[in-house]
Amino acid sequence: MDSIYQPYLMTVATIIDEAPGIKTFRLTFQDAAVGAAFAYQPGQFCLLSAFGHGEAPFGLASSPTRKGYVECSLKQVGKVTSALHELVPGDTLGLRGPYGRGFPIDQMRGKHLIFVGGGIGMAPLRSLLWNCLDQRADFENITLIYGARSTADLVYKRELAEWTARGDIQTILTVDPGGEDATWKGQIGFVPTVLEKASPSPQNAVVITCGPPIMIKFVLVSLTKLGFQPAQIVTTLEMKMKCGLGKCGRCNIGSHYVCKDGPVFTYEELKEMPGEF
């Protein structure tokens, strides 16, 4: 590629409406050789270009064990995401990446994994969760605790049903009080409360969490009550990034650049960073 700022050309293969204002895009590479060589880690991110409108960073929601495509889940919040939401299968967009530091999956092998997600924060967790399920023998128990404001706001509903039906993962779903409907069979309560009720053991375990900042803040409090040490807790920061290369300075926290040193950090690392939780 002639320039680090030149994106790969991608074709929109499929679009899934996940929740109000949230769509998952499956993208294929127009250059098959590039697609065959493209590799990434769960937790890394890319920048998607809506030509004529700009570009924005998004976590990769697909697993690198699933070859031939990448997936990103986009919430419509501004100019770029609105333009991307107007795309239809067959349209072209740009992709730069992958960027950043992903989840330390090699350090998770042989351990119990507890995924704690909220809302669209399930997107990066989905990438890691599918990666782990595709290599299921490498891990001990896998537990997913996931919640949203309402049943309508839960993303990946088809996969949630699939994971709930599997025998090799425990799936605990919840919605905020008042967010349930007549067909809801899961729990009712905020994610940190449901986490404490589930009371997972910290013995030989790693927690991976992502969601709204206020959720993460109280999840960290709950995990501390349950006896988890900061080094056992991994999260991914949702910061405003632009260049993805550590050049623009928009995502720096102290001496760290989220786009290069993260977006994945342990809670132990975050405790050393100013203004984070």
pLDDT in tens, the chain (277 residues): 567 789 999 999 999 999 999 999 999 999 999 999 999 999 999 999 999 999 999 999 999 999 889 999 999 999 999 999 999 999 999 999 999 999 999 999 999 999 999 999 999 999 999 999 999 999 999 999 999 999 999 999 999 999 999 999 999 999 999 999 999 999 999 999 999 999 999 999 999 999 999 999 999 999 999 999 999 999 998 777 778 888 888 888 888 888 888 899 999 999 988 765 5
Q: Looking at the domain assignment, is residue 139 inside a domain?
A: yes
Token pair listed for 233: 């807790």
Cα dihedral 215/246/51/264 (nearest 10): -30
Residues 110 and 232 in one domain: yes
117/184 same-domain check? yes
126 and 210 within one domain: yes
Q: How many domains does the chain have?
A: 2
Residue 154: name the closest of 109, 110, 184 by CA: 184
Coil, helix or strand at residue 246 = coil
**Tokens encoding 95:** 């992709």
Residue range(s) defining the domain that contains residue 25: 8-99
The residues, ordered by sequence, that sit 6+ positions from 272 with a Cβ below 8 Å of its Cβ are none
**Predicted local distance difference test score (pLDDT) of residue 241:** 76
Whether 262 is in a domain gets the answer no
3-state helix, strand, coil in the chain (%, to 5): 30, 30, 40
Residue ending a domain, among 41, 73, 99, is: 99
Please give the helix or strand (H or E) that residue 197 lies within, else none.
helix 191-198
Q: Are residues 72 and 175 in the same domain?
A: no
Residue 249 domain-assigned (yes or no)? no
Residue 259 domain-assigned (yes or no): no
Residue 251 in domain: no
Distances (CA, A) of 171 to 28, 146, 147, 149, 176: 30, 8, 11, 17, 17
* Residue where the block lists tokens 């997600």: 117
Q: Which of 224, 189, 194, 190 is nearest to 207 (CA)?
A: 224
Regarding whether 173 and 65 lie in a shared domain, the answer is no
Strand 205-210 and strand 112-118: pairing?
A: parallel
Across 66-91, b (16+ Cβ under 10 Å) vs e yields eeebbbbbbbeeeebbebbbebeeee
HSE-CB at 92 with a 13 A cutoff on CA atoms is: 7
Clarify whether residues 95 and 109 are in a common domain: no
Provide the CATH number for the domain around residue 224.
3.40.50.80
Whether residues 48 and 146 share a domain: the answer is no
Same domain, yes or no: 16 and 68: yes
- The CATH number given to whatever domain includes residue 68 is 2.40.30.10
pLDDT at 276: 58
Please check whether residues 150 and 50 belong to one and the same domain: no
91 plus 133 within the same structural domain: no
Please say which residue of 42, 70, 99 terminates a domain. 99
Pair 96, 244: CB distance under 8 Å: yes
Of 83, 99, 115, the position where a domain reaches its end is: 99
